[in-house]
Structure 1
Amino acid sequence: MKVGNNNWRNAHNNDAALPAFLAARVDRYYTERVQQSWAGGHIMKGRVPDADALQLSSNDYLSIARHPEILDAMCMSIRSEGNGLLMSGVFLHGDDCPQLNLESRFASFMGAEASVLCQSGFAANTGLIQSIANAQTPVYVDMMAHMSLWEGIRAAGAKAISFFHNDVEHLEQRIQRYGPGIVIVDSVYSTNGSVCPLQAFAEVCAEHDCVFVVDESHSLGTHGPHGAGLVAELGLTDRVHFRTASLAKAFAGRAGIISCSRRFQEYFKCEALPAIFSSTLLPHETAGLAATLEVIERDDWRRTRVAANARYLRMCLAELGYNLNGSETQIIALEAGPEPQTIALRDALEARGIFGSVFCAPATAQNRSLVRLSINAMLSESELERIVEVCEAIRDEVQMWNWPSTRRLMERGATRMRVRQPRALADLQVAA
C-alpha cells in the first residue's frame, strides 16, 4: 500500500471494516508518524538512487554479493537440485547432508564444537533465547542489543533486565541484585558501530556463573582470524557459551548461525520453535554459503580494506564535528536526533548522491534517529573523499551544530575541529 501526502486518509478509510480497536491503532500510525513526524512523507523513502550514487545502505561489508564463485555455486545448485526437499530442519540427518556438513564447517571456522544453521539471524536469536531461558531466568541485556534478542526474551517468558550500554559495572550491580542468569550483548552494535568490551563481560559472567551470549552479526567475517569474529580475535571462544550471527551481513546471504556444543546442537533442533516449525535452507542457499565461507576465509585483504576505509571516514568525519557515538568499526552513524531532522539529513545526502540507511524508533530510542553509513571494502579513495566532502558541505544546511548528539559532544569538550586537508588512504593503511 503506497501512501503519499494526499491519500493517507483514503488508505485509512479502506480499513473501515476493521474492528475499532485495530482501526484506531492503524490510524495512530498515520496520524502520529506519517502526518506529524514525517509531514505526510515517509522517513524510509527518499530519492531513488541513480547509477552514479554511492549506496552505503548494504551490509555487504566485504563486497562479495556478486562474487562469481558464489554465484556459480548457487546457479549450479539451482539447476541440479531446484528447491530440494521442503521440510523442517529437524528431519535432516546422514553423512551426505549438505546443510549438516556446512554446520560442521562453520563450527570449525568459528572455533566451536558445533553450530546450527537457522533461517535468519532473527530466528537464531529468538530460537536460542527461547530454548535457554524461562520465566524464572533473569536475562541481562545491553540496552542497545538487537531487537531479535529482546524478542527472544519475550518469547521465553523470561524477565528482561537491561543494563547501560557497554557498562560492565552496571551489569554486575544488576547480577548482584537479581542473581545468576543469561548475559546478552552484541560484539559490534548495529546502530552505531560501537564495540563491546567482551573480555570484561566474560570475566563478570564467569565470576557470577552466568551464561554468556554474544551476537556477532556485524563482526563475523569482518573481524578475527580469517573472519572468525571478534570473540575468536580476543581468544574468548571457551568463555562465550553461544555466538549467534545473521549471515545477511558480511556473508551476503540469507541465514543465521549459532555456535554451541554438540550436545546443545541436538537439543536446540528439537526444542527451539523456529527450528521445529520452519523449513530448512534451500539447496542453493546452502551451496552459496559454502562458497562464501571459502571466499571469506581466503580473502584477508577484504577485511584489511574495509577496516582502513572505515578508519579513514571515522577520522575525517570526527574532524568535521560529527558525533560518531563511539564507532570503532565499519558502521558509522550520523545521529540527527528527532525524525524531521533525520529526514532533512537524508534528503541533503541523497541530493548529492550519498545513500545510507535511516534508523528510527523502534530501531533507536525516541528522538535519536540517524542515518547509518555501512562501509564496504570496494570503496575507492575518490569515493571516500566524496563522502567526506558531502558531509562537510551539508553541515549548516542540516543544522548539524544544533543536533542533540553534537551538543552532547561539545558538552564533553570532545571536539577538536580543524581545517580538513585531504589525506591519502594509502598512508592511513600503512600507519595502521
Structure 2
Amino acid sequence: MSKLTHDIGAQLQQLKEQALLRQRRIVDGPQGPLLSIDGRQYLAFSSNDYLGLANHPALVAAAHEGLRRFGVGAASSALISGHSSIYETLEVALANFVGMPRALHFSNGYMANLGILPALAGPGDTIFSDRLNHACLIDGARLSRAEFRVYPHNDVGRLAQQLGKSRSGRKLIVTDGVFSMDGDLAPLAELVALCERHDAWLLVDDAHGFGVLGPQGRGSLAHLGLSSPRVLYMGTLGKAAGVAGAFVAGDAVLIEWLLQRARTYVFTTASPPLLASALLATLTLLQTETWRQQHLRQLIAQLQNGLAGLPWTLLDSETAIQALVVGNNQLALDLMARLREAGIWVPAIRPPTVPKGTARLRISLSAAHSTDQVAQLIAAICAAAAAMA
C-alpha cells in the first residue's frame, strides 16, 4: 500500500469513528413520497422535489417531445453550436417569470455560482458572504481571488460595518435566499438597501426558494415584493422545478458579460435540449396550478404543530426545509436509524455540512406528501423521542 492510500485510509477511519462517514444509497425507480432505497420501500422525506413535479405526466410528455425533436445530447458548448432554440425560448421564459430583463441557463447551480462569482469579482474587489451560505457560493468566491469577508448568519449590522470599512473597487454581497440546512430566509430587503447605500451588488442563490415561495413560485424576491437592478438572481431547476439545471437572471449587460466570461458556461457542453422542453412544461404548471404551494404550506404547519414540545429544536422555517436539530452526530444517526426501522427515510445531516454541534434531521416536505403521511412521520419521531429519552 502506498503512503497516499495508507494516509487516506487512516483519514477515512477517523471519519467513521467521528460518525461523519457518508454513504450512498441505491434508489430504484422514480422520485416520490415512496422511495425504493437499497431494495426496501420507505416513506421518504429526503427529496428537494418540493412540488412533486419530478414525475409529472406533463413534464414526461414534454421531455419525450423534446427527445423526438432534438435528440439526446447537445454535443457542443452553447457558444459553438449547442445553444438550441428550445433553450433560447426557456431563457426568455425564465427571465419573464422572475421579472428580470434577461436570463442565462447553466447546467446546474454549483456550476452557475462557480462561473458567476469569478466573472464579476477579482483581485481588488471584495465578496461578502453569509456564514451559512452553500458551498458553491464559498467555492466560487475563493476562485475569484477577490477579498473574501464572512459575516455572521443574517447579521445585517455586522455586514453594514464591513461594507462601511471597505474601499474595494467592486463590492458583491452573496447569500442564499433560503438556507439549505436551516430553511430560514435571508433578510433580502435589508441587503438590497445596503447595496444601494454602499454601491454594492447582491447575488441571491434561491435554489430552495424558486418554485416554492412568492406568487406562483416566482421565488424569494417576489415573496418579499422586492425588485432592484442591483440584484442578480440565481435559481436552480432540479429541485422544485423537478428537472435539472440552473439559471441566473438580472441586468442584460451583466448577463451578456457572464455569457462571455463565466468559464463554467463558456467551456462546457450545453445541456440536453429535452430538459429545456420539460422545464417549459414546469413553468406552465407553476403559472396555472398554484394548489401545490398551498398544500405545502398546510403540511409545514401540520409538521410544526405535531413536533412542538420535543426535547430537540425544530428550527423556525416557513419553507419546505424543516430542520430538527439534535446536536450530537451519533444521536442524529441513531434517530435516522429508528425512523428507518419504522419504514421512514429522513437523512441525518452532520458536519461539515452544518456547524459542529448542530447535527440534525433535515426533513424535506413535498406537495406530493399527504396529510396522513406527515402524520405518520410525526408519530414516528415522537415515538423515537420517547424511546431515546
The TM-score with structure 1 as length reference comes to 0.82
Is the partner of 1:76 in helix, strand or coil?
helix
Decide which of 45, 69, 80 is 1:56's aligned counterpart: 45
Q: Distance in 2 between matches of 1:25 and 1:315?
A: 48
Q: Distance in 2 between matches of 1:388 and 1:240?
A: 42
Q: Distance in 2 between matches of 1:44 and 1:346?
A: 15
Residue 235 of structure 1 deviates from its aligned partner by 2.3
Q: Which residue of 2 aligns with 1:198?
A: 188
List alignment gaps of at least 5 residues for structure 1. 1-15, 400-432
Is the partner of 2:257 in helix, strand or coil?
helix
* Aligned residue pair count: 377
Per-residue displacement from partner, 1:117-166 (whole Å, max 9, x unpaired)? 00001011111111111122111111001100001011111222111111
Q: Distance in 2 between matches of 1:184 and 1:141?
A: 5
Tell me which amino acid in the other structure corresponds to 1:73. Answer: A
Contact 2:183 2:323 in 1 (8 A): yes
Mean CA deviation greater in 376-385 or 56-65? 376-385
User: Is 1:150 aligned with 2:138?
Assistant: yes
Q: Distance in 1 between matches of 2:82 and 2:6?
A: 49
Is the partner of 1:370 in helix, strand or coil?
strand
Q: Which residue of 2 aligns with 1:32?
A: 14
List alignment gaps of at least 5 residues for structure 2. 27-36
Contact 1:214 1:240 in 2 (8 A): no
Tell me which amino acid in the other structure corresponds to 2:59. Answer: I
The structure-2 alpha-carbon separation of the partners of 1:86 and 1:93, relative to structure 1 and needing over 3 Å to count, comes to closer
Q: Distance in 2 between matches of 1:75 and 1:270?
A: 32
Tell me which amino acid in the other structure corresponds to 1:105. Answer: A
Q: Distance in 2 between matches of 1:274 and 1:54?
A: 37
Tell me which amino acid in the other structure corresponds to 1:27. Answer: G
Is the partner of 2:148 in helix, strand or coil?
strand
The structure-2 alpha-carbon separation of the partners of 1:270 and 1:398, relative to structure 1 and needing over 3 Å to count, comes to farther
Decide which of 102, 111, 126 is 1:138's aligned counterpart: 126
User: Is 1:299 aligned with 2:280?
Assistant: no
The structure-2 alpha-carbon separation of the partners of 1:93 and 1:24, relative to structure 1 and needing over 3 Å to count, comes to closer
Per-residue displacement from partner, 1:31-85 (whole Å, max 9, x unpaired)? 2112x1239x75665974733x211111111011111111011112223322244
Q: Distance in 2 between matches of 1:44 and 1:365?
A: 22
Contact 2:74 2:269 in 1 (8 A): no
Contact 1:214 1:244 in 2 (8 A): yes
5 Å-filtered alignment, 1:77-96, equals 77-91=66-80
Q: Distance in 2 between matches of 1:240 and 1:322?
A: 40
User: Is 1:177 aligned with 2:165?
Assistant: yes
Residue 197 of structure 1 deviates from its aligned partner by 1.6
Decide which of 231, 242, 247 is 1:241's aligned counterpart: 231
Contact 2:134 2:180 in 1 (8 A): yes
Q: Per residue, is there more strand in 1 or in 2?
A: 2
Which structure: larger Rg? Answer: 1
Q: Distance in 2 between matches of 1:271 and 1:244?
A: 17
User: Is 1:116 aligned with 2:98?
Assistant: no
Q: Percent identity?
A: 25
Decide which of 269, 273, 276 is 2:263's aligned counterpart: 273
Cα RMSD after superposing both structures: 2.1
Contact 1:78 1:284 in 2 (8 A): yes
Residue 321 of structure 1 deviates from its aligned partner by 4.2
The structure-2 alpha-carbon separation of the partners of 1:341 and 1:179, relative to structure 1 and needing over 3 Å to count, comes to farther
Residue 184 of structure 1 deviates from its aligned partner by 0.9
Residue 364 of structure 1 deviates from its aligned partner by 1.2
Tell me which amino acid in the other structure corresponds to 1:337. Answer: G
The TM-score with structure 2 as length reference comes to 0.91
Tell me which amino acid in the other structure corresponds to 2:43. Answer: L
User: Is 1:309 aligned with 2:296?
Assistant: no
Q: Which residue of 2 aligns with 1:207?
A: 197
